[in-house]
């Protein structure tokens, strides 16, 4: 049997390897070669090693939607549950660590997760994760202590707190990045989110040798200044949120962005211009037939649309400009219409 010093040396060596991998992933990320999720996977390995657990999961608290979402969960795909659910939710609600080696006897234990994951939870440790202001933003959970003994509520909490602290900084940065790429009023992605997506999920579609399809719809609200003048800026905000909701519903699973002011942009991967034009027409009719209710008022609006099929030999800005020119044509020729092709002169 290995002595305590040998075990400690092995754990320390494992931690050094994990930290080296983290360092490498972060530097690779700067050159665009790294994998964002790989960083979280290394954090998970760190926590797992520190407390000798079978599995760990790292949770983000989505306070807007009142959900708990795994940033990483070993052995399973992403898990989403209500913010107060399970021992993770209880730990966040009570703002303290939870350690149990008899989880099924604990208030708040959620056995349905074991059913979903086909896993037998025998011991659990959960630590709240905080940002630099001391606000709880997530949780680090370790499951099933390896060996005969269960988690130690003093020593193991002390060890996992190292990983929880580092994860807190990483998660805070991730949340800050996510927030910077979303419009606060409509919750849609903004231009920063658009350009981030262009560099990641849409990069291949913009390569000439990939034969990928990508269509662009750009649209804006007709006579929006009149809406603001008539109903005030709060009324205008209500209209923007109304439009954002309809666009999200009508274009799922495609990406919608608030391009600026009353203008919105939609990217449709793997779809051609005909598909984009048909979908834009459907959205146009839905908007025209809808009513935005603001206080005691009912506000009716219309929208104009320009569509383009992205050409990989052009930059994304040049492709957006083509769709924008067609939007301008729609505005100049009567509004409340879709223009998907240039007029032949």
Query: Which of 170, 115, 114, 183 has its CA nearest to residue 137?
Result: 170
For residue 262, give Cα distances in angstroms to 45, 65, 130, 251, 301: 45, 25, 36, 18, 12
Q: Cis bond leading into 331, ω under 30°? A: no
End-to-end Cα, the chain, rounded Å: 87
262 belongs to the catalytic site: yes
The b/e string for 26-43 (b: 16+ C-beta within 10 A; e otherwise) is eeeeeeeeeeeebbbbbb
Q: Apex CA 93: angle with CA 45 and CA 98, to 5°? A: 50
**Cβ within 8 Å of residue 182, ≥6 positions away:** 188, 189, 190, 193
What distance lies between CA 108 and its chain's CA centroid? 27
- DSSP-derived letter for residue 296 is T
Of the residues 262, 281, 289, 343, which is catalytic?
Answer: 262
**Whole-number Å distance between alpha carbons of 42 and 31:** 19
* Torsion angles phi and psi, residue 84, rounded to 5: -95, 5
**Cβ within 8 Å of residue 233, ≥6 positions away:** none
- DSSP-derived letter for residue 140 is E
Active site residues: 262
């Amino acid at each position: 049997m290995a002595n305590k010093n040998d075990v400690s040396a092995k754990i320390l060596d494992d931690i050094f390897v994990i930290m080296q991998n983290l360092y490498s992933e972060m530097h690779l990320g700067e050159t665009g070669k790294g994998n964002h999720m790989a960083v979280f996977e290394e954090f998970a390995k760190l926590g797992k090693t520190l407390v000798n657990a079978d599995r760990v999961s790292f949770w983000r608290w989505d306070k807007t939607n009142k959900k708990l979402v795994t940033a990483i969960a070993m052995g399973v795909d992403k898990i989403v549950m209500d913010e107060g659910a399970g021992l993770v939710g209880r730990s966040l609600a009570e703002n303290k660590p939870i350690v149990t080696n008899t989880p099924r006897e604990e208030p708040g234990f959620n056995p349905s997760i074991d059913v979903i994951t086909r896993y037998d939870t025998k011991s659990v440790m959960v630590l709240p994760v905080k940002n630099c202001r001391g606000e709880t933003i997530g949780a680090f959970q370790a499951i099933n202590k390896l060996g005969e003994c269960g988690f130690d509520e003093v020593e193991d909490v002390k060890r996992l707190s190292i990983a929880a602290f580092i994860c807190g900084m990483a998660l805070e940065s991730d949340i800050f990045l996510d927030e910077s790429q979303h419009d606060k009023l409509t919750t849609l992605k903004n231009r920063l989110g658009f350009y981030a997506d262009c560099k990641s999920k849409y990069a291949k579609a913009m390569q000439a040798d990939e034969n990928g399809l990508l269509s662009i719809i750009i649209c804006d609200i007709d006579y929006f200044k009149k809406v603001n003048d008539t109903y005030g800026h709060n009324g205008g905000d209500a209209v923007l949120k109304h439009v954002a909701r309809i666009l999200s519903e009508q274009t799922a699973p495609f990406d919608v962005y608030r391009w600026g002011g009353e203008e919105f942009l939609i990217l449709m991967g793997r779809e051609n211009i005909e598909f984009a034009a048909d979908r834009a027409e459907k959205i146009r009719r839905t908007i025209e037939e809808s009513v935005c209710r603001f206080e005691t008022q009912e506000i009716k609006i219309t929208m104009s649309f320009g569509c383009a099929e992205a050409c990989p030999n052009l930059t994304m800005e040049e492709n957006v400009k083509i769709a924008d020119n067609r939007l301008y044509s729609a505005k100049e020729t009567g509004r409340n219409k879709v223009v998907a092709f240039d007029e032949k002169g």
